[in-house]
Structure 1
């Protein structure tokens, strides 16, 4: 349960970590790796494995076995790639913004109406029960 959004060189996320229905503690959801931004939603162990895979060079043959992951990887050029747990081949997002996580529907609606990445996460935090905590943003 989370919301991660990218738009206009900014990635933003909430900071909540859930254990079943309990809001447990704040966590990091955005990383800068090799001049890329990575934002993840899913199981914490899978997120760590995915980030380590990118840090190690993102070799397709070494893609970790994952159970629950959605990730946005933004290249230094601004190209937006979306990954899922199923495999190492991303989908290139053909638009100016992207959102993942339980609050993505609310965030996408806000982005469509012109919201910034931070404003979109703020909207998700107001309307999605899984999006909570401090909003963090990182520039590309």
Structure 2
């Protein structure tokens, strides 16, 4: 279970991860790419990693991971924050869903996190509260700021 939250300037994520056989381990789910974009992964860890590596390799549509195609048991998502602060989400196809708002969340804690953002709080607070109320979300918080980006007023 996961929550990845973007508030327009900060990407935050919980650290809890698990598998069918391991109750909980800690891992980092967000990272800054070499070109300055931010990336967060949610869902099945192996598939999410595959999607993340595909994005880092240039996200060429013809090399989209076969296991992430529609009809497969894909439960992975990758959220990319562009250097301009735009939100792109890859899930079951090689073309991202692009969101126009500057706040977004993915993972099991999405509803709680979006409610916290709607109340005017930041991404870190959204992850902290989602970690308190959502099963399988927690283990600490990682935070990345988008370099040089100032979000537009709401």
TM-score range, shorter chain: over 0.9
Whole-angstrom CA distance in 1 between matches of 2:94 and 2:117: 27
CA distance in 2, matches of 1:58, 1:35: 16
Name the counterpart of 1:113: 119
* Larger Rg computed on CA atoms: 2
Report the CA distance between 1:125 and its aligned residue: 0.5
Q: Distance between the aligned counterparts of 1:89 and 1:134, measured in 2?
A: 31
Asked if the contact 1:16–1:23 (Cα under 8 Å) also holds between the matched residues in 2, the reply is: no
Q: How many residues align?
A: 139
CA deviation vs aligned residue, 1:49-98 (integer Å, no higher than 9, x gap): 111111111111111122221221010011111221x1011111121200
Q: TM-score, normalised by structure 2?
A: 0.85
Correspondence list, 1:1-140, <5 A = 1-20=1-20, 22-33=22-33, 34-65=35-66, 66=68, 67-84=74-91, 86-140=92-146
Q: Looking at secondary structure, tell me which structure has more strand per residue.
A: 1
Please list every run of 5 or more consecutive structure 2 residues that lacks an aligned counterpart in the other structure. Answer: 69-73, 147-154
Structure 1 portions without partners, runs of 5+: none
Decide whether the 8 Å contact of 2:86 with 2:102 is kept in 1. no
TM-score by length of 1: 0.93
